[in-house]
Amino acid sequence: DTGVSQNPRHKITKRGQNVTFRCDPISEHNRLYWYRQTLGQGPEFLTYFQNEAQLEKSRLLSDRFSAERPKGSFSTLEIQRTEQGDSAMYLCASSLLAAETQYFGPGTRLLVL
């Protein structure tokens, strides 16, 4: 068990470009969550998966955002046509069950210039 991993750790992009982040959860965990954290603030929920099914999306997740979890393993979060307001830390977490402890990855820090 190597914990939750996220790649890349840092991403700098120009406004209007597309970016994709990857999250590898703890292997036996069914639940996978994406959160966004801006500087000095607490994380905000974006979306979650149970196995391969995406069951809830926050209103924060505009139509430029899409997330997938093929085969219930790793997950990707894509942001199309990035905007400066998308600059944030994107955190992934996984858990075995809904009420179980969520284990967080190190995050991907996105800077949109």
Partner 1 sequence: AQTVTQSQPEMSVQEAETVTLSCTYDTSENNYYLFWYKQPPSRQMILVIRQEAYKQQNATENRFSVNFQKAAKSFSLKISDSQLGDTAMYFCAFMKEGGSSNTGKLIFGQGTTLQVKP
Q: How far is the CB of 74 from partner 1 (least distance, A)?
A: 17
DSSP 18-71: -EEEEEE--TT--EEEEEEE-TTS--EEEEEEETTEEEEE-TTS-TTEEEE-GG
Q: How far is the CB of 111 from partner 1 (least distance, A)?
A: 15
Which residues sit at the interface with partner 1, rule CB under 8 A? 4, 31, 33, 35, 40-45, 48, 55-56, 91, 93, 95, 97-107
Tokens of 6: 């996220």
Nearer CB in complex with partner 1: 79/107: 107
Q: How far is the CB of 72 from partner 1 (least distance, A)?
A: 15
